[in-house]
Amino acid sequence: MAEKCIFHVDVNSAFLSWEAAYRMQVLGDSFDLRTVPSVVAGERVSRHSIILAKSLPAKKYGIKTGEPLGMAREKCPELVVVKPNYGLYVDASRKLIALLREFSPKVDQFSIDEAWVDMTGTARLFGAPTLAAKTMKDRIRDELGFTVNIGISENKLLAKVAGDFEKPDKIHTLYPSEIPEKLWVLPVRDLFTVGRATERKLHELGIRTVGQLAHADRAMLRKKLYKQGDVLWHFANGRCDDALLAPPQENKGYGNTMTTPWNVTKPDEGRQVLLSLCETVGMRLRRDGKRAELIALSLRTEDFHDYSRQMPLPSATNGTEELYRAACRLFEASWDQKTPLRLLGVRVGKVTADDYRQQSLFDDADFARQEKRDAAVDEIRAKYGEDVIQRAVFLRGGIAKNMAGGLSKNRRTGVTKPVPEEGKE
């Protein structure tokens, strides 16, 4: 029986790399974002703009993923900023997964930019693991236009840790025999699932390296960290049940939130935001062939007080207008129209694949016609971009755009070259 062989494939600076590859390969741009200090971030005028991805030159300025855009600009005034292009990222991710499946049918996608590939028993097709990884890595670079790191081991955990070693465009192994020299020397923060809070607790116990965690008393870890302590002890020793790292289950709910560029103080502003959110939620439901039986509204005030309300829908639906009308009813029942709001969210639950509709004597809408219209709009947006067709309320501008957030297929926006004076905060 062949020894287990798992690859972990992780795109280097995914959003930025995909943006750069698209501009060079499709648009014919000669300007490579990856060669200059550049970042992917949200709207420059938005108060919640954060860094989603950064280039290696930007990293040298101390710019970090997740920090505010304004702070990054203070570190590098000449920073090139591009808007997120979610549809492009989804398309690039799908192409990556399709290429990986040419090497093995067993591909577990962990996130939009990383996946595990079970390469067990493929040596006669692609050679030894490191040779197969080089072939895979080079094909991704040459055919798709971006680079990846590939970690190789006998289980998903060690393969993922190996993939996080030196970047970019590298191949690393972390076999059980290499654990003492490669894994145990790492700080505990580098171990999978260890975040800031857990790192702080481990430091309080005098545990700063993965090796110290691996040799710590299991009973003490269970006492201090409960079940997580036992899991981390096994992880530190390179052991894991691959089921723990299984890909996410099918969506049981769909949702979208928007932190508004300024406080919502008028009902019309709130309704425009809700319509924008429902456009995206409805599109995602229809894309997956699902309908929802429950809708929930979440609100956050300017002083960060959160509250929510939900209600069942008359019939399972994925129609934008039905979702919007229900969201507006919740909005009218929840908001006093006096307290300024900084965030609104729409979420649907009790998702089903059934396409039946509970008929009512009081229904006066032509639901069949609405469904055909939604399907036609989705098809046009998928082919030509989400802003090519939009409701009139968004043409006048306002607090929200046509579709807030979400994962559209072809959002084509952003700058292609540095603009020195634009967008300074």
- Residues 358 and 315 sit within 8 Å (Cβ to Cβ): yes
Q: How many CA atoms lie within 13 A of 413 on its CB side?
A: 17
Q: Is the dihedral of CA 148, 62, 162, 117 positive or negative?
A: negative
Please give the distance of CA 73 from its chain centroid, rounded to a whole number: 24
| Active-site residue, 250 included | no
Virtual torsion, Cα 399, 402, 406, 409, nearest 10 deg: -150
Q: Which residues pair with 297 in a beta bridge?
A: 309, 346
- Residues 406 and 84 sit within 8 Å (Cβ to Cβ): no
Residues near 335 by Cβ (< 8 Å), separated by ≥ 6?
267, 270, 299, 341
Q: Which of 74, 102, 114, 371 does the annotation list as catalytic?
A: 114
> Two tokens at 2?
């062949």
379, with CB counted inside 10 A (0-12, 13-18, 19+), is: exposed
Matching residue, tokens 């289950």: 249
Closest alpha carbon to 357 in 327, 314, 390? 314
**What type of residue is 34?**
R
Spatial separation of the C-alpha atoms in residues 210 and 192, rounded to whole Å: 11
Spatial separation of the C-alpha atoms in residues 271 and 234, rounded to whole Å: 50
Please tell me the total number of residues recorded for the chain in this structure.
425
Spatial separation of the C-alpha atoms in residues 50 and 195, rounded to whole Å: 19
421, with CB counted inside 10 A (0-12, 13-18, 19+), is: exposed
Taking CA atoms, 288 is separated from 69, 87, 338, 352, 353, in Å, by 34, 16, 38, 10, 9
Taking CA atoms, 258 is separated from 27, 81, 300, 330, 345, in Å, by 31, 21, 10, 17, 6
Spatial separation of the C-alpha atoms in residues 141 and 108, rounded to whole Å: 21
Closest alpha carbon to 398 in 256, 257, 260, 280? 260
Residues involved in catalysis: 114
